[in-house]
Amino acid sequence: DSIWYGSPQDQIQAFRTFQISKEFQERYGYPEITPATRAKIFGLNALRIYPVPEDVLNRHLQRDAVAQARQNYRERAEPHFLTYGPKDRREFLNLLRWG
């Protein structure tokens, strides 16, 4: 699937901050998305399948190459996903006056 359509990184990033509104929770019975729920979705539920104690896993995960890369990215994000150029109509029209 990723061969044809690319990585789902945009959807993953969006889900990290996604919240179901209180209105939808009450109206449709959706549960709140808690940090514990996100941890399960992003891989913590695999601990039920693999016999690795969570404390051992956490100790090793903080020192592996991915954790180091994640920490380096937090300190200096590259790519940084900043938007260059005009961000709304007013900024665009101001840019046209200069150009």
Q: Are residues 43 and 68 in the same domain?
A: no
What share of the chain has pLDDT > 70, as a percent?
Answer: 98
Single-letter amino acid code for the residue at 67: A
CA distances from 74 to 4, 61, 67, 79 (A): 30, 16, 11, 11
Given 15, 35, 50, the domain boundary residue is: 50
The pTM of the full predicted model, rounded to 2 decimals, is 0.47
Mean pLDDT of 20-37: 94
Given 10, 30, 50, the domain boundary residue is: 50
Q: Which two tokens stand for residue 74?
A: 């937090």
CA distances from 85 to 78, 80, 91 (A): 18, 15, 8
Q: Are residues 65 and 86 in the same domain?
A: yes
Residue 1: its pLDDT value, please?
56
| Domain count of the fold of the chain | 2
Q: Are residues 8 and 44 in the same domain?
A: yes
